[in-house]
């Protein structure tokens, strides 16, 4: 198939197709972004339209601390990835575990917020349009954080048992792209729910 006569006349072709893991992750992110867009649109559409029940401005408390946790976890995962690329596995492990801790803290914060909303304010998914859209959107995001955390924990288990090496840096980078996406979604959700919607 190769036209060998032609290759003698032409300089060798530079051939650098992109890596499949990254391409696949970008596509997955696009699909997930599409799903979140629909939930965000529904949330925005229903702002102010609840017929009864608690309104956002009455019951929502802005979760600054837990947002900071999640956003810093993007930073820590970035450093983790960088360490692994440089071959520093122990440094990687520390940054990675910090990421998990910060992510878990964020989830705990969400749980605490929901406990307060359900038991103290009487806001559930059935209460009104605000309840339905709020729990769905924040819940979908929390679900994605949970899935991400499970993946991160799996990687940390591999690290703890000594199976993770520098050559896995690219795959870890792909996973960290997912984590960055989850953070970016939170930025949007935060603005829509706690800033615009209140």
Partner 1 sequence: MSTELIAWPSSETATPQPFVGQLHQWVTTVDHKRLGILYILYALLFLVVGGVEATIMRIQLIRPLNHFVSPQVFNRMFTMHGTTMIFFVVMPVMFGFANYLVPLMIGARDMAFPRLNALSFWMTAFGGLLLYFSFVGGDGLYGAGNAPDVGWFAYAPLTSKTFSRGHSTDFWILSLLVSGFGSIGTAINIIATVLCMRCKGMSLAKLPLLAWLNATMAGLVILAVSPLTAAQIMLLVDRYLGGQFFDTQAGGSAVLWMHFFWVFGHPEVYVLVVPAFAFASEIIPVFSRKAIFGYPIMVAATLAIGFISMSVWAHHMFTVGMSAAGNTFFVLSTMAIAVPTGIKIFNWLATMWGGQIHFKTPMLFCIAFLFQFLIAGLTGVMQAAAPFDWQLTASYFVVAHFHYVIVGAILFTLFGAFYYWFPKMSGRMYDERLGKLHFWLFLIGFHLTFDFMHIPGILGMPRRIYTYEPGRGWDIWNLIVTIGVFFQAAAILVFIWNLLWSYFRGELAGNDPWDAWTLEWSIPSPPPAYNFADIPEVRSRRPLWDLKHPEDPDWHYE
Give contact residues for partner 1 (rule: CB under 8 A): 1-3, 6-7, 13, 15, 17-20, 23-24, 27-28, 30-32, 34-39, 42, 45-46, 49-51, 124-126, 128-129, 132-133, 136, 140
Nearest distance from C-beta of residue 48 to partner 1, angstroms: 10
Residue (of 62, 157, 60, 147) closest to 107 by Cα position: 147
Nearest distance from C-beta of residue 17 to partner 1, angstroms: 5
- Measured from the CB atom, the residue of 95 and 181 that comes closer to partner 1 is 181
- Measured from the CB atom, the residue of 35 and 108 that comes closer to partner 1 is 35
Q: For residue 101, give Cα distances in angstroms to 9, 16, 79, 109, 179.
A: 58, 37, 15, 12, 14
Nearest distance from C-beta of residue 58 to partner 1, angstroms: 17
Burial 161-172 (b: 16+ CB within 10 A, else e): eeebeeebbeeb
Which residues, 6 or more positions from 152, have their beta carbon under 8 angstroms from its beta carbon?
A: 96, 99, 100, 103, 175, 179
Nearest distance from C-beta of residue 76 to partner 1, angstroms: 28
- Measured from the CB atom, the residue of 32 and 113 that comes closer to partner 1 is 32
């Amino acid at each position: 198939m190769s036209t060998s006569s032609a290759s003698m006349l032409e300089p060798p072709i530079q051939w650098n197709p992109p890596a499949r893991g990254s391409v696949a992750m970008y596509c997955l992110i696009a699909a997930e972004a599409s799903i979140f867009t629909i939930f965000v649109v529904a949330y925005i559409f229903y702002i102010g339209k609840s017929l009864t029940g608690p309104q956002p401005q009455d019951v929502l408390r802005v979760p600054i601390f837990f947002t900071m946790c999640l956003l810093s976890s993007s930073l820590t995962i970035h450093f983790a990835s960088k360490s692994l690329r440089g071959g520093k596995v122990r440094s990687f492990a520390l940054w990675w575990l910090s990421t998990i801790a910060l992510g878990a803290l964020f989830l705990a914060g969400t749980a605490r917020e929901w406990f307060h909303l359900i038991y103290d304010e009487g806001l559930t998914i059935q209460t009104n349009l605000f309840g339905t859209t709020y729990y769905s959107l924040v819940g979908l995001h929390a679900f994605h954080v949970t899935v991400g955390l499970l993946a991160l924990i799996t990687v940390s288990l591999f690290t703890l048992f000594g199976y993770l090496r520098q050559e896995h840096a690219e795959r870890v980078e792909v996973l960290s792209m997912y984590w960055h996406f989850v953070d970016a979604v939170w930025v949007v959700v935060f603005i829509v729910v706690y800033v615009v919607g209140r």
